[in-house]
């Protein structure tokens, strides 16, 4: 009987611990036709980085978003296939859960960064979404970076 109570107590402890792990609260930022759902702690920041229209800043990750009008790209005679080739040039292409994305490193002075990149297209724009972290954090943040790209939605 004591053994049964010990097993039940252990089972109750496991179930309680599993039930207490709540999903992190999130919020969604919308930029025209693109939405990104991220942890609630992210803040919209003004971006002073050339080539980016929007910036979301988390504790260890920064998300840079840029949009380019499809009409502007077409005016140069660039096809949709060429856009992808150009966008992912110099990156290692990976796939997770059916989604392709690029990864690359960037060095600025003595600072080294790791980026995860996704290209998205709606009826009006091509959207570049770059998720960045310090290079030293890439082993622990690589999966959350991909999750952010997977949380991008187009309207």
- For the stretch 26-85, pLDDT in tens is 999 999 999 999 999 999 887 666 778 899 999 999 999 999 999 999 999 999 889 999
Non-local CB neighbours of 90 within 8 Å, separated by 6+ positions: 104
Is residue 14 scored above 50 in pLDDT? no
- The pLDDT assigned to 87 comes to 93
Please check whether residue 146 is in contact with residue 116, taking contact to mean a CB–CB distance below 8 angstroms.
Answer: yes
List the domain range (segments joined by +) for residue 80.
24-154
Residue 119 DSSP symbol: E
Tell me the CATH number at 88: 3.40.1000.10
Q: What's the number of domains the chain is made of?
A: 1
- The pLDDT assigned to 51 comes to 77
* Residue 52, in any domain of the structure: yes
Closest CA to 66 of 137, 152, 5: 152
- The pLDDT assigned to 71 comes to 95
5 CA to centre of own chain: 46
Q: What is the pTM of this model?
A: 0.80
At CA 127, angle to CA 88 and CA 89, rounded to 5? 10
Backbone phi and psi for residue 103, each to the nearest 5 degrees, phi listed first:
-130, 145
* Residue 4, in any domain of the structure: no
**137 SS3 class:** helix
Is residue 1 scored above 90 in pLDDT? no
Cα–Cα distance for residue pair 55/44, rounded to 1 Å: 6
* Residue 8, in any domain of the structure: no
* Residue 137, in any domain of the structure: yes
* Residue 10, in any domain of the structure: no
* Residue 89, in any domain of the structure: yes
* Residue 5, in any domain of the structure: no
- The pLDDT assigned to 48 comes to 64
- The pLDDT assigned to 144 comes to 94
**155 SS3 class:** coil
Largest CA distance in the chain: 80
Number of H helices, E strands in the chain: 4, 10
* Residue 17, in any domain of the structure: no
Let me know how long the chain is.
155
pLDDT tens, position by position, 80-136: 889 999 999 999 999 999 999 999 999 999 999 999 999 999 999 999 999 999 999
Please check whether residue 145 is in contact with residue 130, taking contact to mean a CB–CB distance below 8 angstroms.
Answer: no
């Amino acid at each position: 009987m004591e053994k049964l109570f010990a097993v039940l107590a252990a089972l109750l402890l496991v179930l309680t611990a599993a039930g207490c792990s709540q999903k992190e609260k999130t919020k969604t930022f919308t930029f025209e036709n693109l939405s990104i759902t991220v942890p609630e702690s992210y803040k919209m920041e003004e971006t002073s980085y050339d080539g980016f229209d929007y910036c979301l800043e988390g504790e260890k990750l920064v998300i840079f978003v840029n949009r380019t009008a499809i009409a502007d790209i077409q005016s140069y005679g660039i096809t949709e296939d060429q856009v992808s080739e150009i966008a992912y040039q110099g990156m290692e292409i990976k796939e997770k859960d059916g989604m392709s994305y690029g990864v690359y490193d960037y060095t600025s002075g003595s600072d080294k960064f790791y980026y995860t990149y996704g290209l998205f297209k709606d009826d009006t724009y091509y959207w570049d979404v770059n998720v960045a972290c310090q290079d030293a954090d890439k082993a622990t943040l690589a999966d959350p970076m991909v999750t952010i790209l997977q949380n991008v939605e187009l309207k």
